[in-house]
Amino acid sequence: MEKFKDKKMPFAKPVLGLAAYSGTGKTTLLVKLLPLMKLQGLRVAMVKHTHHDFDIDKPGKDSFELRKAGADQVLLASDKRYALLTEYEKPYEADINTLIEKLDLENLDLVMVEGFRHLPFPKIELHRPVMAKPLLFKEDKSIIAVASDGDIETGELPLLNLNAPEEIAGFINRWLDNQTGHGIEQCA
């Protein structure tokens, strides 16, 4: 944690990622962590990278038809949420800074990132020895802790129990407090 304490973060809000190989359980862990953070009053945004073509809209819906008819951007809005769909003429890989800037940062305390593991921003590595994959922290100096379901050597990095989301949430709380002075209260 200390290696990021005095460094100016390149983002307007604290950003923390989960770095792991596919199948390690990033989403599974996040589904357990997010309610813990929400209970403590922490406002969290998620940025998730995918290598797959995806569409959150459905054929037959007005927004789908408008987009397919040629709208480059469609903003769907209700009294509960809004979503902005942007079409790119050519394949375009948005960088993480651009994606984070699209978030409503005024109403967030933390941006969690799933994916983008090769970029230099603070991350917790998830590691399962049974998968026989190499440890990422040995090559990635932006990893601030390792969460594992096995007993592994992490050097000076904290080793967290991958199966104890309360412990990981507590670590995130302390890290966030270290970044902003506004961690979440009473989280493990």
Query: Which value, in Å, is the radius of gyration of the alpha carbons in the chain?
Result: 18
Q: Give residue 166's identity as a one-letter amino acid code.
A: E
Q: Which residues in 29-51 are b (16+ Cβ under 10 Å) and which e?
A: bbebbbebbeeeebebbebeeee
pLDDT at 56 over 90: no
Question: Residue 2: its pLDDT value, please?
Answer: 44
pLDDT in tens, 134-173: 999 999 999 999 999 999 999 999 999 999 999 999 999 9
Question: Residue 52: its pLDDT value, please?
Answer: 59
Q: Where are the domains of the chain?
A: 2-54+95-180
pLDDT in tens, 5-50: 434 446 789 999 999 999 999 999 999 999 999 988 899 999 987 7
What 3-state DSSP class applies to 6? Answer: coil
Q: Which residues pair with 77 in a beta bridge?
A: 82
What's the CATH code, domain 2-54+95-180? 3.40.50.300
